[in-house]
Amino acid sequence: MLRAMALRRIVTAEDPILRERTKKVSNFDASLHRLLDDMLETMRDAPGVGLAANQVGVPLQVAVIEIDERITELVNPRIVRSSGEQVDWEGCLSIPGYVAEVGRAAAVTVKAKDRRGREFRIKGTELLARALQHEIDHLNGALYVDHLDSLDELVRVGEHDADEEAGEAAG
Ligand code: CO
């Protein structure tokens, strides 16, 4: 049966689901595929470059990323290697209107499964590395603000030269 993709509501930072560790996916079935399809549409609508399942109220280890027209679906992802450092502006679709400069690994390798349960590895640098770390943080109940020394480091989108773009690159 055909089913159109649907937008799901993105929860914001005060929702406790964002602070829970998500559960491993064991059924790579139609409901997982629907979730991934809906998450892609919801992320594009926001717009953002990444979205984790608990951001749409589903406590499963599932995330999507789309950067430079390349879609990556991550199921049960794990960072298996990280190196270097980068500091750049970062935003979150669950903390709308704000960005901050966040230190992250410059490069990460992630092991994950695709929607059919096949294992794959993806290596990211720059924005992709940042998005991978941001989304996997979400799946572990962490938010980017946890990496800041103080919430005073949050800047409203539009109040800094660099952050307009970072607001669009939220995950
Ligand atoms: Co986020």
Structural domains of the chain, ranges and CATH numbers in brackets: 16-168 (3.90.45.10)
Identify the pLDDT of residue 141.
98
Q: What are the pLDDT digits (tens) for 17-26? A: 999 999 999 9
Mean pLDDT of 83-112: 96
Could you tell me how far CA 122 lies from the centroid of its own chain? 15
Task: Tell me the pLDDT band of 50, cut-offs 50, 70 and 90.
Answer: very high
pTM of the model: 0.94
Q: Which residues surround ligand 1, an ion (CB under 5 A)?
A: 92, 171
Residue among 20, 66, 135, 165 flagged as catalytic: 135
Q: How far is the CA of 134 from the centre of ligand 1 (A)?
A: 6
